[in-house]
């Protein structure tokens, strides 16, 4: 395993650090509103993060992100804290770091142009989380608000995914 680590370039090391740190940041971001995460939870996320750095294209990454995500659902409160934006940014940063890392093998130098492009895209995608958070705050005082806005957002997101899928089906590619 040490030989694998040694083969990473400096850029790949930075990406791997983000892949481990992102889920941990997202996990600890719940502390102000929901309390500190349990030690075993931190350990699991840490182990999953390290495993993800070794296999950036494996399902381990999705498990790590989902584990952190559902740690935010382990409370009865439906209040949407501002810290959830930090968590969303942490998870997104880890995902994008793994995405850039999976452009090639670990010894591939990270292209600065690619890093800039995905940093800009990441900032834009974080903006969508902020927009959703603002909507959530706006409808928080409405009666039965959680159910209403969740259903609304789910419908909106489903429309996006279905539309994307429809475009994909409408332009089938030929196998070569």
Partner 1 sequence: MNRWEITPALSRALLVSGLLVGGAVLLGQPALVVLAAPFVVLAAFALISRPTSAPVVRGVLDHVSLYEGQGTRSRLQVTEADGVEHVTRISAQAPYIALHPASGRVSGLLSAGVPALEVSPRRWGRRTLGEEKVALTSPWAGYRWGPVLEHGIEMTVLPASAPFDSAAEAPQPLGLVGSNRSRRVGDGTEFAGIRPFQSGDRLRRINWRVSLRTGDLHVVTSRGEEDSGVLLVVDALSDFGRSGGVGAGASSLDVTMRAASALAEHFTRNGDRVALRVIGGAWETVGYGAGQRHLRQILGRLAGVRPARLRDDATERLRFGATAGTVVIVLSPLLADAVVTAAASLHRRGLPLIAVDTLPDEAAALAPEDTDGQVADLAWRLRRTEREHLLTALARQGCPVVQWRGPGTLDDVLHRLARRAQLPQVRVR
Q: Assess contact for 29 and 83: CB atoms under 8 A.
A: yes
The reply to whether 176 sits near partner 1 by the rule CB under 8 A is: yes
Nearer to partner 1, 49 or 61 (CB): 61
Among 4, 131, 138, 142, the residue binding partner 1 under the rule CB under 8 A is 131
- Say which residue the tokens 């997101």 belong to: 157
The reply to whether 35 sits near partner 1 by the rule CB under 8 A is: no
- Say which residue the tokens 């259903």 belong to: 151
Closest contact distance (angstroms) between CB of 87 and partner 1 is 6
Q: Show the tokens assigned to 13.
A: 């090391």
- Gap between the Cα atoms of 53 and 101, Å rounded: 9
Report the alpha-carbon angle 71-76-80, nearest 5.
70
The reply to whether 167 sits near partner 1 by the rule CB under 8 A is: yes
Among 107, 119, 138, 142, the residue binding partner 1 under the rule CB under 8 A is 107
Q: Choose the stretch contacting partner 1; rule: CB under 8 A; options: 16-24, 35-43, 131-139.
A: 131-139
Closest contact distance (angstroms) between CB of 98 and partner 1 is 7
Burial 76-105 (b: 16+ CB within 10 A, else e): eeeebbebbbbbbbbbbbbbbbbbbbeeee
Name every residue whose Cβ is closer than 8 Å to that of residue 102 and which is 6 or more positions away in sequence: 56, 57
Q: Give the contact letters, 65-104, x = binds to partner 1 (CB under 8 A), - = no.
A: xx--xx-xx----x-xx--xx-xx--xx--x--xx--xxx
- Gap between the Cα atoms of 17 and 45, Å rounded: 14
Binding site for partner 1 (CB under 8 A): 26, 56-59, 61-62, 65-66, 69-70, 72-73, 78, 80-81, 84-85, 87-88, 91-92, 95, 98-99, 102-105, 107-109, 111, 113-114, 117, 121, 125-126, 128-129, 131-133, 136, 146-147, 149-151, 153-154, 157, 160-161, 163-165, 167-168, 171-176
């Amino acid at each position: 395993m040490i030989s694998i680590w040694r083969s990473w370039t400096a850029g790949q090391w930075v990406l791997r650090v983000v892949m481990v740190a992102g889920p941990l940041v997202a996990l600890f971001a719940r502390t102000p509103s929901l309390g500190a995460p349990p030690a075993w939870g931190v350990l699991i996320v840490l182990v999953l993060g390290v495993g993800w750095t070794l296999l950036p294209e494996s399902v381990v990454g999705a498990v790590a992100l989902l584990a952190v995500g559902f740690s935010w659902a382990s409370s009865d409160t439906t209040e949407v804290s501002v810290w959830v934006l930090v968590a969303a940014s942490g998870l997104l940063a880890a995902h994008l770091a793994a995405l850039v890392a999976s452009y090639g093998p670990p010894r591939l130098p990270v292209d600065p142009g690619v890093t800039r492009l995905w940093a800009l895209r990441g900032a834009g995608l974080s903006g969508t989380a902020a927009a959703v958070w603002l909507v959530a705050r706006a409808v928080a005082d409405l009666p039965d608000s959680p159910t209403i806005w969740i259903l609304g957002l789910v419908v909106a997101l489903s429309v996006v995914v279905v539309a994307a899928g429809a475009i994909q089906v409408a332009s089938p590619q030929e196998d070569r």
